[in-house]
């Protein structure tokens, strides 16, 4: 049986007509967010040159960390702005943070970075602890000017 030439586009026309012309434009999925994203505030307590007979006693100061998810890391890697108002360790720097083994609380949190020391050199720090939904508790250790060490603890909360 021969199909007339004029009727060949008819099934395509019917298909396109059935789609309707009033459907909204498709939108992409929203970017997933992490419980860690945002600004956390709290306190750092450090002891400079622990074990040194002339070491100062531990002291505390305000600390703020702001976490920004790094793309394509399963919400487990972050660019972190660290700001310390501790009298001995006044600094603002960018660090790297990782969550393991997963990206939901409670989970282990690890942060490391470098900073411009108030004493005119470069310092390094590291921190490992636990991240809950609204609270982080972790150690906070480092080296300043390659001669001075510090140990301590950071406690941060997110409102």
Radius of gyration of the CA atoms of the chain, in A = 27
What percent helix, strand, coil does the chain show, rounded to 5?
Answer: 10, 50, 40
Query: For the chain, which residues make up each domain, given as ranges?
Result: 45-157
Tens-digit pLDDT profile for residues 4-42: 555 555 444 444 444 545 555 656 666 779 999 999 999
d(CA 140, CA 107): 17
Q: Does 121 have pLDDT greater than 60? A: yes
Tens-digit pLDDT profile for residues 30-81: 677 999 999 999 999 999 999 999 998 999 999 999 999 999 999 999 999 9
Tell me which residue of 15, 13, 61 sits closest to 41, measured CA to CA. 61
The answer to whether 146 touches 124, Cβ cutoff 8 Å, is no
Tens-digit pLDDT profile for residues 98-116: 999 999 999 999 999 999 9
pLDDT at residue 24 in the model: 55
Instruction: Tell me the CATH number for domain 45-157.
Output: 2.40.128
């Amino acid at each position: 049986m021969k199909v007339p030439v004029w009727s060949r586009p008819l099934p395509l026309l019917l298909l396109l007509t059935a789609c309707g012309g009033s459907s909204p434009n498709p939108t992409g999925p929203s970017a997933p967010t992490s419980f860690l994203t945002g600004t956390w505030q709290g306190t750092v307590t450090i002891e400079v040159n622990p074990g040194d007979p002339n070491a100062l006693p531990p002291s505390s100061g305000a600390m703020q960390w702001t976490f920004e998810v790094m793309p394509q890391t399963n919400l487990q890697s972050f660019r972190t702005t660290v700001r310390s108002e501790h009298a001995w360790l006044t600094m603002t720097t960018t660090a790297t943070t990782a969550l393991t083994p997963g990206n939901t609380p409670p989970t282990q949190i690890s942060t490391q970075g470098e900073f411009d020391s108030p004493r005119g050199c470069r310092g390094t720090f590291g921190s490992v602890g636990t991240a809950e939904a609204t609270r982080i508790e972790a150690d906070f250790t480092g080296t300043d000017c390659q001669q001075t060490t510090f140990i301590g603890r950071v406690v941060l909360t997110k409102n």
